[in-house]
């Protein structure tokens, strides 16, 4: 079965609307052929991950689209870049990489993308409706979009995402199709204590375990007693998408396509049921920490995905006006900074020693001090996955309260947990 393009799509691919639009259409069509799609379907919005500088080729690609007259045809927000354009934090990226990263960010703005520069566009007002087809990049944004919002997207990689945004089309495969969105396995957490499931620290750990156990298989979590709130679902999905290839999860009684277990499974019995035990949780937590017996904490980083306004309130409450011996790098979107400035929270936090990082994060661009064998404390399952390879720091994982107390004292503080 071969991909069928409409006469209009063939005309665009042949250059009717300019070289940039033609290149984008050809990229989407070729991706569709490789994925064995029969049709391209219209999409309502896009979130673009490809604006993060990884090398000159990405900058030159974006500039070629601009030179070809391309523009996005749908709402398109931008994921983090390699620079903090707000000036909140100092990025240590050197030349010529710094100039190329700036050129890349400028090119995506010229293509008509919104300069949101956040990995959590759903916190910045980009929230497509349930059942709508979109093309999102950035793993945590993809899994949140599918699972929590109920919109439909595959995990779109760099450059395919902007091609979809320009053409307004995506291949009709994968999680765009209803039959692929039903759960095949049950991830049963009913054997864990209610107190643990209601704690903040549980969600990155459970997400890490879920991703490790399920890979890319769609599953449904069973045993969550009440809606945990979006920040915890965000943490779960980000960790799951980092430790596995998760694009969609369901939580029975919580997420929009899972009013109950039967609905999540599409009326079919599960192929597998994973009964999560306290020992499995302890093991998952242990694997999030790669630093062995640290005596000091060299850096503290939170905000992957980007911190919400509510998470900043929790941070300020826990600091309680104390001075930090070790700065807390708090990554967030520029949309959140506006509220922090209006309330005075930004000034209060920075006076205590918090370094607010906007438009980017400490794991994708050099911001943290370059310290061989340094120890990074975090409450983010995603940071815990990526920080060792991307920053060289060993990781110590704990709760947000643990992160604050470690920053105040300069010594590692990790509390136990009742599972």
Q: What is the pLDDT of residue 294?
A: 87
Q: What is the pLDDT of residue 108?
A: 98
Provide the greatest CA pair distance for the chain: 66
Compare 418 and 187 and report the one with higher pLDDT. 187
pTM of the model: 0.96
SS3 114: strand
Residue 10 scores a pLDDT above 70: yes
187, 213 Cβ separation under 8 angstroms: yes
Q: Which domains does the chain have, with CATH numbers?
A: 7-176 (3.30.499), 182-286 (no CATH), 289-409 (3.30.499.10)
Q: What is the pLDDT of residue 419?
A: 85
SS3 104: helix
Q: What is the pLDDT of residue 206?
A: 98
Q: What is the pLDDT of residue 19?
A: 98
Torsion of CA 311, 312, 318, 324, to 10 degrees: 130
Q: What is the pLDDT of residue 1?
A: 61
Percentage above 70 pLDDT, the chain:
100
Q: Average of pLDDT values for 80-88?
A: 95
SS3 8: helix
25-54 pLDDT, tens digit per residue, is 999 999 999 999 999 999 999 999 999 999
Residue 418 scores a pLDDT above 80: no
152-175 pLDDT, tens digit per residue, is 999 999 999 999 999 999 999 999
90-110 pLDDT, tens digit per residue, is 999 999 999 999 999 999 999
Which residues are within 8 A (CB) of 253 and not within 5 positions of it... i.e. 6 or more apart?
224, 259, 260
Write the DSSP symbol of residue 55: S
Question: Could you tell me the CA-to-CA distances from 169 to 6, 11, 45, 161 in Å, in that order?
Answer: 12, 14, 10, 10
Q: Average of pLDDT values for 385-400?
A: 94
Q: What is the pLDDT of residue 293?
A: 78
Q: Average of pLDDT values for 60-85?
A: 98
Rounded CA-CA distance 310/242 in Å is 23
300-347 pLDDT, tens digit per residue, is 999 999 999 999 999 999 999 999 999 999 999 999 999 999 999 999
Q: What is the pLDDT of residue 377?
A: 97
Rounded CA-CA distance 76/126 in Å is 9
Q: Which is it for strands 185-188 and 219-222: parallel, antiparallel or unpaired?
A: parallel
Q: What is the pLDDT of residue 373?
A: 79
Q: What is the pLDDT of residue 415?
A: 86
């Amino acid at each position: 079965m071969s991909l069928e393009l409409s006469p209009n799509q063939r005309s665009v691919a042949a250059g009717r609307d300019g070289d940039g639009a033609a290149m984008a259409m050809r990229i989407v069509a070729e991706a569709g052929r490789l994925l064995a799609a029969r049709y391209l379907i219209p999409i309502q919005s896009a979130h673009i991950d490809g604006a993060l500088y990884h090398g000159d080729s990405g900058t030159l690609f974006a500039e070629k689209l601009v030179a070809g007259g391309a523009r996005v045809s749908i709402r398109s927000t931008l994921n983090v870049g390699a620079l903090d354009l707000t000036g909140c934090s100092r990025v240590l990226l050197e030349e010529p990489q710094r100039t190329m990263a700036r050129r890349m960010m400028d090119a995506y703005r010229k293509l008509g993308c919104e300069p949101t520069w956040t990995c959590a566009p759903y916190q910045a007002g980009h929230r497509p409706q349930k059942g709508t087809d979109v093309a999102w990049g950035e793993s945590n944004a993809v899994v949140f979009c599918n699972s929590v919002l109920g919109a439909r997207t595959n995990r779109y990689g760099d450059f395919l995402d902007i091609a979809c945004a320009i053409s307004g089309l995506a291949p009709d495969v994968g999680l765009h199709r209803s039959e692929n969105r039903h759960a095949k396995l049950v991830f049963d957490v009913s054997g864990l204590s209610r107190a643990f499931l209601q704690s903040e620290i549980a969600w990155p750990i459970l997400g890490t375990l879920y991703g490790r156990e399920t890979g890319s298989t769609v599953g449904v979590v069973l045993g969550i007693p009440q809606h945990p709130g979006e920040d915890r679902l965000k943490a779960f999905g980000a960790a799951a998408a980092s430790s596995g290839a998760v694009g969609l999860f369901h939580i029975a009684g919580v997420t929009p396509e899972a009013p109950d277990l039967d609905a999540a499974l599409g009326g079919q019995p599960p192929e597998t049921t994973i009964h999560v035990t306290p020992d499995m949780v302890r093991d998952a937590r242990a694997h999030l920490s790669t630093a062995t017996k640290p005596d000091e904490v060299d850096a503290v980083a939170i905000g992957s995905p980007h911190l919400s306004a509510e998470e900043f309130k929790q941070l300020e409450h826990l600091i309680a006006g104390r001075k930090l011996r070790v700065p807390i790098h708090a990554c967030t979107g520029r949309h959140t900074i506006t509220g922090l400035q209006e309330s005075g929270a930004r000034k209060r936090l920075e006076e205590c020693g918090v370094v607010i990082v906007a438009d980017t994060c400490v794991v994708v661009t050099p911001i943290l001090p370059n310290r061989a064998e340094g120890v990074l404390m975090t409450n983010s399952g995603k940071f815990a996955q990526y920080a060792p390879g991307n920053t060289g720091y060993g990781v110590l994982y704990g709760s947000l309260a643990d992160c604050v107390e470690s920053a105040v004292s300069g010594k590692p503080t990790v509390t136990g947990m009742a599972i």
